[in-house]
C-alpha cells in the first residue's frame, strides 16, 4: 500500500467515480485534507443526503426530493406533450434550454439486447399508462442518437402510435457552432435529408 | 437554482475541489446517485475518517494516522539525513522513487513575503530543534524550484550551516524523458552549469 489507510480509502472512493484517474483521486483526497473539519463534514453529509433524499418522481421518473417532481407539479407546463428521455441528465439538458414547456418521461435506460435490457426493464409501461389516462397529444422521443437509442425510439413509437397519439423524434443535424468539416458522414447525411427551406 | 436542493448541495461540494469545474461536478454528483446506498455511505465515511484520523507526525510533520509516521518509526531508515519538503505531497513523490532512505521534514509551506508567510509560520524551528538533538549529518532542501521555494531554501541553509551540518539542494536540470527543445531557458542554463563528467 502506497499511503496510510484512511487516505488510501478516500483515494479509492474518488477513483471509483467515472473518469477519475489515480492522480486526480490523490489530488481530490488532498483537497479534502485541506478542508476545514466543518467543510469535510458538509461534504460527507451532502453525499449521504443526496442518496437519502433524492428519489424518482412517481409520475415521470425524474429526480426529485418531493413525491412529485418540480416539472410534473408545475401547472403552467403543457401536459399534452411528453418528452421521453433515457435519464435525468437529459431532463437537465432540456430544462437548460428554457424552451421546452411540456412534461417528461424518464425511461431509466434504453432497450439493449446486448446488455440484456428488455423493454420490460425500462419505464415503457408507465409511459403507456400515462397516455391511457388521456390528455396527451404528442410524444417526443429524445433517446440518444445511437443504436440502442434508435431501437428504443422505434419500439416506443409503434406502441404510442397505436394509441392514436402523435410521435416525433428530435431533429438530427450538424450541431450549432460546429465545423461541417469535422461532422461525421452519418450526421451530415441526416442533415441533408432533414434540410429545410429558409 | 438549477437543480433540486440535495443535488445542488452535492454539486457545490464537488465543485469546491480544486480543478473541478461545474460540468465535472455535476457528473460526479450523478455518479454518487448511481452508487448503491452502501457505496455512498462508504464514500461519506471515508471523507469523515480522512479528516478525523489523519494528522501530522509529531516529529517530521508528514501525514499519519499514528502518533509518529511510518518513515520516522522505521528503524531501517538513515536518521542522519533529513530531506526538507514543502508538504506531504512531496514526501509521497520521494517515497515512490524507493531510492531515498533518510527521514523527512515537512515545512507545511514556504516563506512568502507576498502572502504574508514569515519564517515563524512554517516548521523551521522544529527542524532546527531536530538538528540540535544531534545525529544529523546532512539536510537536503527539496522545496519547489520557484521564487518562494528558493527563498526558503536559502533561509534554511544559512541557519542549518551555522549549526555545522552539511546542506544540499536537489539538482536542477532537464527532466528525464523530456525534449530539450521544449525546456525553458532557466532550466537549460541550470542544466549546463550543473553538467557532470560521464
Chain B nearest CA to A48, separation (Å) = 6
What pLDDT is attached to residue B96? Answer: 85
Contacts of B26 in chain A (CB under 8 A): 92
What pLDDT is attached to residue A145? Answer: 86
Instruction: State mean pLDDT over A83-107.
Output: 91
What pLDDT is attached to residue B187? Answer: 82
What pLDDT is attached to residue B3? Answer: 81
Which percentage of chain A shows pLDDT scores above 90?
A: 71
CB of B106 closer than 8 Å to CB of B73 = no
DSSP A67: S
**What single string gives the DSSP state of each residue in B148-161?**
HHHHHHHHHHHHHH
What pLDDT is attached to residue B1? Answer: 47
Comparing CA positions, the residue from A178, A93, A4, A15 lying closest to residue B28 is A15
pLDDT band at B180 (very low <50, low <70, confident <90, very high): confident
Which of A125-129, B1-5, B6-10, B122-126 has the lowest average pLDDT?
B1-5
Q: Which residues contact B87 (CB under 8 A, 6 or more apart)?
A: B106, B107, B108, B109
For residue range B159-172, list pLDDT tens digits in order: 999 999 999 988 88
**B92: contact with A, CB 8 A cutoff:** yes
Q: Does pLDDT of A152 surpass 80?
A: yes
Chain A nearest CA to B162, separation (Å) = 34
Which cell is B104 given? 523527512
What pLDDT is attached to residue A2? Answer: 67
Sign of CA dihedral B112, B155, B196, B77: negative
Range 48-67 of B in CB contact (< 8 A) with A: 48-54, 63-65
**B97: contact with A, CB 8 A cutoff:** no
pLDDT band at A30 (very low <50, low <70, confident <90, very high): very high
B146 to each of B177, B186, B192, B195, how far by Cα in Å?
A: 21, 11, 18, 21
What pLDDT is attached to residue B2? Answer: 67
- Chain centroid offset of residue A95 CA: 11
DSSP H or E stretch at residue B136: none
Instruction: State mean pLDDT over B35-42.
Output: 94
Contact B47 A49 (CB under 8 A): no
Which of A189-193, B18-22, B91-95 has the lowest average pLDDT?
A189-193
Which of A25-34, B7-16, B91-100 has the lowest average pLDDT?
B91-100
Q: Is B82 helix (H, G, I), strand (E, B) or coil?
A: strand
Facing A10 at nearest CB: one of B33, B46, B70: B46
Which percentage of chain B shows pLDDT scores above 90?
A: 71
Q: Model pTM? A: 0.79
What pLDDT is attached to residue A43? Answer: 96
CB of B26 closer than 8 Å to CB of A90 = no
Q: Which residues contact B93 (CB under 8 A, 6 or more apart)?
A: none
- The ipTM is 0.80
CA pair distance A152, A120, nearest whole angstrom: 12
Instruction: State mean pLDDT over A178-194.
Output: 80
**A96: contact with B, CB 8 A cutoff:** yes
No. of H helices and E strands in chain B? 7, 6
The two beta strands, A166-169 and B55-56, are unpaired
CA angle A58, A59, A61 (to 5 degrees): 70
CA pair distance A190, B122, nearest whole angstrom: 63
| Domains along the sequence of chain A with CATH | 5-53 (1.10.8.420), 63-197 (3.40.1360.10)
**A118: contact with B, CB 8 A cutoff:** no
Q: Which residues contact A123 (CB under 8 A, 6 or more apart)?
A: A61, A105, A106, A107, A108
Amino acid at each position: 500500500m502506497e499511503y496510510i489507510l484512511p487516505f488510501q480509502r478516500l483515494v479509492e472512493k474518488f477513483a471509483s467515480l467515472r473518469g477519475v484517474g489515480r492522480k486526480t483521486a490523490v489530488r481530490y483526497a488532498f483537497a479534502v485534507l485541506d478542508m476545514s473539519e466543518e467543510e469535510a463534514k458538509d461534504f460527507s453529509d451532502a453525499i449521504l443526503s443526496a442518496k437519502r433524499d433524492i428519489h424518482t418522481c412517481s409520475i415521470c421518473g425524474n429526480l426529485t426530493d418531493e413525491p412529485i417532481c418540480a416539472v410534473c407539479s408545475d401547472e403552467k407546463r403543457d401536459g399534452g406533450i411528453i418528452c421521453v428521455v433515457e435519464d435525468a441528465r437529459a431532463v437537465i439538458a432540456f430544462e437548460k434550454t428554457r424552451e421546452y414547456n411540456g412534461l417528461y418521461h424518464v425511461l431509466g435506460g434504453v432497450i439493449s439486447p446486448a446488455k440484456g435490457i428488455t423493454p420490460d426493464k425500462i419505464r415503457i409501461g408507465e409511459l403507456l399508462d400515462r397516455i391511457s389516462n388521456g390528455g396527451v397529444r404528442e410524444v417526443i422521443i429524445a433517446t440518444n442518437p445511437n443504436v440502442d437509442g434508435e431501437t428504443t425510439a422505434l419500439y416506443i413509437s409503434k406502441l404510442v402510435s397505436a394509441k392514436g397519439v402523435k410521435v416525433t423524434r428530435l431533429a438530427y443535424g450538424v450541431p450549432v457552432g460546429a465545423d461541417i468539416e469535422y461532422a461525421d458522414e452519418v450526421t451530415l447525411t441526416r442533415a441533408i435529408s432533414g434540410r429545410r427551406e429558409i
